[in-house]
């Protein structure tokens, strides 16, 4: 997912996530446009933009999160997207065990506040966040007229992140059932014959 919309013009965050550096390693890249996504509440789950976000997220094997850093952290538009990704659907945790890569773009000097926050968010929703990350400073200078990142050390880091996300995803996917098998889940299954939804646990 990338914050910003590709349709309205060049966007470093959108360009980075949709760059050929990711598709050339074998990834089928889908970029989400958060325009008109409602602020997270308890009544808008059937909103078309919410469904547009959730459906590919649930089908995906990996995520790339790219956020601008503004006033020292990720922007609210991006956090709102993460809040709309459900922690649980019935007894299923749709993000558990997925791989995640993180990156940020900066309008000024290089910073890592946004990627640090994204790493925390990924851990909270039980994703495997790869060790590498990318932070592009002065992003308005680092992309050409075709919205491709220019040759530089920053581009090389983006390629590193793309390759590592692809490799970690391929390594972890076949082992996902084993890696996410937990004693607590087995106990619930033994007692009830199946996993329970969050609502059932509260009854």
DSSP-assigned letter for residue 24 = T
CA-CA distance, 34 to 81, in Å (whole number)?
7
Q: Please report which residue ranges of 30-152 form alpha helices under DSSP H.
A: 48-59, 76-84, 113-124
Weakest mean pLDDT among 2-16, 150-164, 181-195: 2-16
**Collapsing DSSP states into helix, strand and coil, what is residue 62?**
strand
Asked if residue 12 lies in contact with residue 143, where contact means CB atoms within 8 angstroms, the answer is yes
Length of the chain: 203
Q: Tell me the average pLDDT of the chain.
A: 84
Give the tens place of pLDDT for each residue, 29-64. 888 889 999 999 988 899 999 999 999 888 899 999
Give this prediction's pTM.
0.83
CA–CA dist 22, 1 (Å, integer) = 13
* Average pLDDT estimate for 156-173: 92
* DSSP class of 39: P
Complete domains list, the chain, with CATH: 6-202 (3.40.50.360)
Kindly compute the dihedral angle of the four CA atoms of residues 198, 199, 200, 203, in this order, to the nearest 10 degrees: 120
Residue 27 Cα distances to 69, 70, 143, 169, 182, angstroms: 26, 29, 21, 10, 30
Asked if residue 19 has pLDDT above 80, the reply is no
* Average pLDDT of the residues in 107-127: 95
143 or 92, greater pLDDT: 143
Q: Which residue has the higher pLDDT, 136 or 200?
A: 136
Please determine, for residue 10, whether its predicted confidence score (pLDDT) is greater than 50: no
Which is more confidently placed, 100 or 179?
100
Report pLDDT digits (tens) over 65-77. Answer: 999 999 999 999 9
Residues 6+ apart with CB under 8 A from 168: 99, 128, 130
pLDDT of residue 110: 94
49 neighbors 1 (Cβ within 8 angstroms): no
Task: Map residue 22 onto helix, strand or coil.
Answer: helix
């Amino acid at each position: 997912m990338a914050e910003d919309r590709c349709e309205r013009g060049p966007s470093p965050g959108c360009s980075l996530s949709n760059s050929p550096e990711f598709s050339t390693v074998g990834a089928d890249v889908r970029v989400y446009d958060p325009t008109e996504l409602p602020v997270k509440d308890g009544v808008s789950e059937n909103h078309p933009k919410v469904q547009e976000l959730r459906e590919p997220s649930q089908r995906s094997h990996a995520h790339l999160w790219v956020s601008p850093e503004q006033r020292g952290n990720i922007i609210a538009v991006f956090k709102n997207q993460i809040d709309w990704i459900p922690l649980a659907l019935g007894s299923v945790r749709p993000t558990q065990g997925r791989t995640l890569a993180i990156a940020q773009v900066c309008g000024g000097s290089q910073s890592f506040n946004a990627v640090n926050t994204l790493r925390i968010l990924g851990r909270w929703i039980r994703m495997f966040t790869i060790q590498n990350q990318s932070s592009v400073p002065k992003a308005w200078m680092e992309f050409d007229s075709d919205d491709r990142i220019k040759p530089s050390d920053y581009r090389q880091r983006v390629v590193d992140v793309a390759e590592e996300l692809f490799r970690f995803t391929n390594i972890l996917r076949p082992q996902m059932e084993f890696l996410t098998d937990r004693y607590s889940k087995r106990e619930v299954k033994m007692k009830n014959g199946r996993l329970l939804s969050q609502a059932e646990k509260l009854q």
